[in-house]
A and B are shown apart, each in its own frame.
Chain A
């Protein structure tokens, strides 16, 4: 891994982290934006929270890159909603990012000694 300075690291963590979260949640099945937001909040026990203002621009960005794909779905008796699913590219990116993050977290833990504390 090439070196990065701490300020960039800080930024990458926030941004890359958010992307990884969204991509991961879409791996299993397609979901709509609110569902993704709630899932992140619930699964992180409220530590991570996205508001609408941040979530949708993030989704649009990922969609624009071709990693996820949105589709309006109408179900009987409900208003139509936009669901997102992972694309082939998205799956590759997710796999790559997982590896990077895992090695990153592992490296982080090795340095900080958190794992063996």
Chain B
């Protein structure tokens, strides 16, 4: 008589019954099976047949445990009364499903771990990017009733660039508008504070008098600006931030009414801002507010377009209504003042867009798209895992159906399982998102506005939950559908090839691979385009040599610097000290420095040419540089000569000298030699006693000034000796590591005059790199998600192919027994895999061509359908698919035909 007990115990193992109870059940069942066996034998069966028949009584592996579990563990007895209300049982069923699912997941820790990690990656990435989007784009900025606050741009009609406005234009708008509660102007303006003999730069704003009332800011102390205080020549008054008041003035009430030395003039403190004041559009903290009265002459010049504008819409006035009103005012201005407003119009922009620009918005949405693809890939992977498992469980499920289980009930069980899986993944994903966000905060702090507002809050949690639910649905749809409709006859027939799941399952698995490859390709092409574009961007030669150059910005505001000679002497003495620094190769002063964030431009006149139509005067950026500037920063000379020490101030008599760049030569001297020509009326930063006309003595190469993406514009360089500015940058070029000189550089500048603050001491390479920091930031994220997608795709293809190979062992064995060579098997396996992959690649290429168009504005130097990127990524995917197919194929080649045939 065979011993049945081990067989029975095996089936009870998962139940963790009390030992005594288990022993009793085992004994009772063994008795039963003994009787069965004896009866079979007496019925004429052989011992082997009797054994098989008896064992069949135990049915499938899990069924006994499943049935017993209901009895042994379930607390509430099930009602058996016909037609009774069974609602309580639904909850009991759910509870049972959950516990059963938990046990199933624990039973396969490997499967669970891989599935949870895969989905968690997708969910985590989505959560992180969504929380950034939520804070930066979806949530209104921290301003009172921010929905009604708008920025107003003066912009060319065919473009949508932020353009500034002159005070006189602002006054036109202020008097002619109907739809606005108020229109105000501001200008980010750093002031030099001289406090207790120390000079420092304080970030501030020059504003119109109604600025704070427009923002609905209530002052903490003191009073707001009055309208007269924004007029030219008004007394200097300032409102300070709460922080400034506390830290520098000790929160002293007596500070109100006291003077503060700003830019060399005493400003009376009239008010203190509330502690929570912030003005996000300024993109920096605001410590001081002064009125635009400080703009002086600019207030009377229609061409002095230096102000940024915000407005607050009246309640009930629609955005479009206000826009059309502005458009007509702007048209009117264009007609009346064509020289300043040719082809210009006014453009209304929500203040939220002023804070987070369109490119960044687009990049963030695209990133959300990218992580969406990542999640889809993860879902395909897990769907495939679930499908494989469902196939393995098909016989069990079929038996349950045969015994009367409701197929809907089984589908529910499977769905519960993937819900549990997704919930688990969601939790892990949330953890990943929290980590990811601290990384984003760390690396993106300088590059992203409003980043401090990014957090995991209720809405983000809801999003995560939603994504997890979607994930559950997506990854389990196919497996549930397939598994809850098993073909009973097929499955239950012993010896049927249940494991490969027959043709239909194989087809579905193939479809998953195709989808996965296509999704991965789109994601990778997106990432590839961003990376290649960024590579092109950072390799743009700036037109000068930025390596080993250390720069620092200064401003001369004390009364002593009002004289030209004094300024020149200070600059020259400081340059001498800088040149004497150990390791210094050369030093120079320039205003404004490339990549310093400053630029100044004006119209100019070319002597001997007819007066141009208003609005078509030639324009150029202005630079004032010391004699050795071009040699020191290494801008090549194209024609004529560089400046020399002999280009001295003329004291008002005679002409000065000027050097122009190639862009200016191309634009305005295309048919003649500019050398020896005279230009005049160069507007900006002209001092009394400067030359009136300037002779062009040289042409130098173009440089990028504010960004690597914006082509060089016409520039006029004047010698500092003849046109001295009160602000600008010193820089020193060193033979070796320039950063090591930071301290002695700063000290050398300070040594000249304590009232001159030096700020932004940094390497020129760093300044350039900062201008692409935002692009670098999201390119990095794209690359990261692309790599993750690649990894998931690789594992996905690999697992499907290797599973299929493992299940086709018998088929391969038969083929080899019939004479197939190892090479044929390789061809078969790799061929099957590559057919799927190439289909996926073809579909992916089509999808990518449609989708990458959305990236057009973010790409630099290449088209969204860049053939090189498309080709390279497609090849990459072919290569990794080959790898993913080749490993299982090699295993298949080693199949021993005899062994394979014995398996079933």
Contact = CB atoms under 8 A, between A and B. Distances in A.
A34 B36 CA distance: 8
Contact of B56 (A12, A51, A61, A100): A51
A53 B83 contact: no
Contacts of A64: 71, 77
B contact residues, range: 20 to 34
Interface string A1-22: 1111001111110111001000
Interface residues of A, number: 34
Contact of B77 (A14, A16, A32, A65): A65
A18 to B, nearest CB: 10
Given A33-B32, A82-B28, A16 B82 contact: yes
B724 to A, nearest CB: 94
B607 interface: no
Contacts of A82: 24, 27-28, 31
Contacts, number: 82
B50 to A, nearest CB: 15
Contacts of B33: 52
A51 B57 contact: yes
B431 interface: no
A33 B29 CA distance: 9
A56 B404 contact: no
A3 B83 contact: yes
B70 A52 contact: no
Contact of B404 (A14, A52, A61): A14
A71 to B, nearest CB: 12
Interface in B269-316: none
A53 B32 contact: no
With a 10 A CB-CB cut-off, give which of A9, A34, A52, A104 has the most chain B CB atoms: A52
A116 interface: no
Contacts of B59: 51, 53
Interface in B59-80: 59, 63-64, 67-68, 70-72, 77, 80
Contacts of B35: 34
Contact of B58 (A19, A53, A60): A53
A75 interface: no
Interface in A12-59: 12, 14-16, 19, 32-34, 37, 51-57
Given A16-B82, A53-B63, A82-B28, A10 B404 contact: yes
A1 B33 CA distance: 41
A60 B68 CA distance: 8
With a 10 A CB-CB cut-off, give which of A3, A7, A56 has the most chain B CB atoms: A56
Given A34-B36, A51-B56, A56 B28 contact: yes
B32 A100 contact: no
A81 interface: yes
B41 to A, nearest CB: 15
A52 B82 contact: no
Given A4-B82, A52-B33, A61-B77, 7 more contacts: A10-B404, A11-B406, A15-B80, A52-B32, A53-B67, A60-B25, A100-B81
Interface of B: 24-25, 27-29, 31-33, 35-36, 56-59, 63-64, 67-68, 70-72, 77, 80-84, 86, 403-404, 406
Kindly list the 4 A-B residue pairs having the minimum CB-CB distance in the complex, ordered from nearest: A57-B67, A4-B83, A2-B83, A52-B57
12 contacts: A2-B84, A10-B404, A51-B58, A52-B57, A53-B64, A54-B67, A56-B28, A57-B67, A60-B71, A60-B72, A64-B77, A65-B77
